[in-house]
């Protein structure tokens, strides 16, 4: 593991209400820590479970993707995709056929075009669920971590991501961001957010977590996770800490492989456990599993998602967690590598999982669980206990009171001026200045008025202001500069580098946006060529902050931790000297030539 050791050291009436139809407004947010349900509530939900057939019970365990912007009338291409992958035409048919307990929204599935459409889709899903023989509201979820993972784009409010918040260091900011995000998601009918990320990113080579983590200091990450959990749930949505037991120290992406975490039990207790303990202490509604192998806790080398020693022994019994456990996507290779798709959901349930997220083939997965129940491999008593936990979560989030939303709620809540201003204020506390030799920054509007912006144009969430170089140039224009954007991509060619150098000849300074620079990255040649011109060069890392270790000679280096509009605007204000760079590194940056030595320590950062 690259640099690992170095970093280690440094209810009946409620059901009737659901079936009655759309309510007049969004249900009042259910706030704070998870309260213990009263006996009467449990009895109502148990009676509801008793009315279900085995097929209906099994369906409630699944959270499934579905293509389309509408529950009943998606575009023809989405109908075709649904029929190919799920055997139904739309979300309403999915619910009628499989009785799924949850649906997850994705941008690529065309679920999240804009807030009003999302609200209509959510209402259509709940209407379909209310028409079932045993009506149970659907728990609609998405991955809205902010930063580099945001399924819902502008005009919804987009906040800095986890590592940027970690650089800001304010638990209050983390809670505020979570609360506002939760309010906006609830107004669109989304009542569960698969956030925050509770992984401690102690491995700079981690290809899948990185800036999705708050940082590398377990106690600092725990504080931020606790704040975000309270914020999301204050805002009215179920939070979900991920990925248990901790995905921060791996150099394998579980989407395409099966990572191993070689922490000892003692290292896990010190490094990985604190954020999950903080989430549980904050009353988190749900926790997501990781498709990782942790030999210290399970010698069978089953992934944690399928490991009873990890999910029941460690999470339930040792940490005392009694909420909902949901798998990471069952379509990821990390969980499919060892067992077939028919065994994975059964083994996950036996391990201690409650919800099965996004299996590659729902027919296979649903049939396998139903067969295991009928054969006695899964007991109906255990299945009912899982269902009760899921239904209690839905009750806490107001779904049995009123699962619907309104267009008026969207207009009142989503992307308001106050919410957008809060996001900008929080972002202003996150930008980190790592190097400022010879006082290159801030740029002078008189001396360096004409600015060239070059670099990567990574994909941003839908509805943003455009490619990152364009957004950054526009933001610098707003600060009084005359900025020109030129994309050179993640792997600039010699011709692109030459064109950038030629363009700089007519400018006074250049800002170069870099993205995960490696030893053999062509981005290094771009930066070297720009430095050779003698013009002021400002390097801005727009994803992982480790780029500076590969860029010798850079005199002015910043980290924004993402390329979304809110972070790029904040970086522009710092470049222009309108804001002081107060963000501090939440991770260590190791030297490229001597990986066991730190170039920058946790907490480093300069101010003007």
The catalytic residue positions are 255, 328
What CA–CA distance (Å, rounded) separates 104 from 107? 10
Rounded to the nearest 5°, which phi and psi values hold at 97? Answer: -80, -45
571 and 424 in contact (C-beta within 8 Å)?
no
Q: Give the alpha-carbon dihedral of 143, 146, 151, 157, to 10 degrees.
A: 130
- β-sheet bridge partners, residue 450: 482
Question: Six-digit token pair at 201?
Answer: 């990113």
Q: Which residues contact 104 (CB under 8 A, 6 or more apart)?
A: 63, 64, 65, 140, 141, 142, 143, 357, 358
What CA–CA distance (Å, rounded) separates 141 from 161? 18
What CA–CA distances, in Å, run from 514 to 368, 428, 454, 467, 549?
Answer: 47, 20, 9, 13, 12
Rounded to the nearest 5°, which phi and psi values hold at 215? Answer: 155, -160
Residue (of 605, 603, 595) closest to 7 by Cα position: 595
What CA–CA distance (Å, rounded) separates 78 from 70? 10
463 and 153 in contact (C-beta within 8 Å)?
yes
211 and 163 in contact (C-beta within 8 Å)?
yes
Q: Give the alpha-carbon dihedral of 558, 560, 561, 566, to 10 degrees.
A: -170
Task: Classify burial at 420, counting beta carbons within 10 Å of its beta carbon; exposed 0-12, middle 13-18, buried 19 or more.
Answer: middle
**What ranges make up the beta strands (E) of 16-114?**
62-64, 102-105
CA angle 320, 398, 67 (to 5 degrees): 95
Question: Six-digit token pair at 395?
Answer: 């009750």
Sign of the CA dihedral 101, 106, 110, 114? positive
Burial 453-485 (b: 16+ CB within 10 A, else e): bbbbbbebbebbbebbbbbbbbbbeebebebbb
Q: Give the H or E element holding residue 381.
A: helix 380-396
Q: How many CB atoms lie within 10 A of CB 541?
A: 27
* DSSP three-state, residue 228: helix
Helix then strand then coil, % of the chain, to nearest 5: 40, 10, 45
DSSP collapsed to 3 states, 487-524: ECCCCCCHHHHHHHHHHHCCCCEEEEEECCCCCCCHHH
Question: Six-digit token pair at 117?
Answer: 């459409």
Residue (of 288, 375, 369) closest to 61 by Cα position: 369
Rounded to the nearest 5°, which phi and psi values hold at 345? Answer: -65, -35
- Residue written as token pair 């009542």: 191
Which alpha helices (H) appear in 86-215, and where do they start and end?
91-98, 115-130, 162-168, 171-187
Question: Six-digit token pair at 586?
Answer: 């939440």
């Amino acid at each position: 593991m690259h640099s690992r050791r170095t970093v280690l050291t440094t209810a009946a009436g409620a059901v009737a209400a659901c079936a009655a139809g759309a309510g007049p407004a969004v249900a009042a947010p259910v706030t704070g820590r998870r309260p213990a349900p009263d006996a009467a509530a449990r009895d109502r939900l148990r009676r509801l479970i008793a009315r279900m057939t085995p097929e209906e019970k099994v369906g409630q365990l699944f959270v499934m993707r579905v293509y389309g912007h509408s529950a009943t009338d998606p575009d023809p291409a989405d109908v075709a995709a649904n029929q190919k992958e799920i055997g139904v035409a739309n979300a309403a048919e999915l619910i009628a056929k499989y009785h799924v307990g949850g649906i997850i929204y994705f941008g690529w599935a065309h679920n999240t075009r804009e807030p009003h459409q999302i609200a209509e889709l959510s209402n259509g899903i709940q209407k379909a669920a209310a028409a079932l023989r045993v009506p149970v509201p659907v728990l609609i979820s998405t991955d809205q971590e902010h930063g580099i993972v945001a399924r819902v784009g502008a005009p919804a409010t987009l906040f800095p991501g986890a590592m940027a918040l970690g650089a800001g260091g304010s638990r209050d900011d983390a809670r505020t961001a979570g609360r506002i995000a939760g309010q906006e998601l609830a107004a669109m009918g989304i009542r569960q957010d698969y956030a925050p990320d509770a992984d401690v990113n102690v491995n700079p080579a981690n290809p899948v977590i990185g800036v999705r983590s708050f940082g590398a200091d377990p106690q600092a990450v725990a504080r931020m996770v606790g704040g975000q959990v309270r914020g999301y749930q204050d805002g009215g949505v179920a939070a979900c800490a991920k990925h248990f037991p901790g995905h921060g120290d791996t150099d394998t992406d579980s989407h395409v492989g099966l990572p191993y975490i070689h922490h000892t039990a003692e290292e896990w207790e010190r490094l990985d456990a604190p954020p999950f303990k903080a989430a549980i202490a904050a009353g988190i509604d749900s926790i997501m599993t990781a498709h990782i192998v942790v030999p210290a806790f399970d010698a069978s080398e089953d992934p944690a998602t399928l490991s009873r020693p990890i999910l029941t022994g460690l999470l339930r019994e040792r940490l005392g967690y009694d909420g909902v456990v949901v798998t990471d996507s069952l379509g990821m290779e990390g969980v499919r590598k060892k067992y077939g798709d028919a065994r994975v959901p059964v083994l996950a349930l036996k391990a201690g999982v409650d919800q099965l997220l996004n299996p590659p083939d729902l027919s296979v997965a649903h049939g396998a669980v139903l067969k295991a129940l009928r054969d006695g491999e899964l007991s109906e008593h255990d299945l009912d206990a899982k269902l009760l936990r899921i239904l209690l979560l839905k009750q806490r989030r107001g779904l049995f009171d009123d699962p619907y939303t309104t267009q008026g709620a969207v207009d009142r809540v989503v992307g308001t001026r106050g919410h957008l201003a809060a996001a900008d204020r929080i972002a202003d506390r996150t930008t980190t200045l790592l190097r400022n030799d010879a006082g290159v920054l801030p740029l002078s509007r008189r001396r360096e008025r004409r600015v060239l912006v070059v670099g990567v144009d990574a994909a941003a969430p839908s509805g943003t202001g455009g490619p990152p170089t364009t957004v950054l140039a526009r933001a610098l224009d707003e600060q009084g500069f005359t900025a020109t954007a030129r994309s050179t991509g993640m792997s600039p060619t010699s011709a692109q580098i030459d064109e950038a150098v030629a363009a700089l000849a007519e400018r006074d300074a250049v800002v170069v946006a870099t993205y995960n620079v490696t030893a053999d990255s062509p981005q290094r040649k771009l930066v070297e060529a720009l430095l050779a011109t003698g013009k002021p060069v400002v390097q801005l890392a727009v994803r992982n902050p480790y780029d500076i270790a590969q860029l010798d000679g850079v005199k002015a280096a910043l980290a924004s931790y993402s390329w979304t509009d809110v972070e790029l605007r904040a970086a522009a204000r710092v470049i222009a000297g309108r804001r002081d760079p107060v963000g501090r590194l939440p991770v260590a940056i190791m030297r490229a030539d001597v990986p066991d030595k730190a170039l920058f320590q946790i907490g480093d950062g300069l101010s003007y």
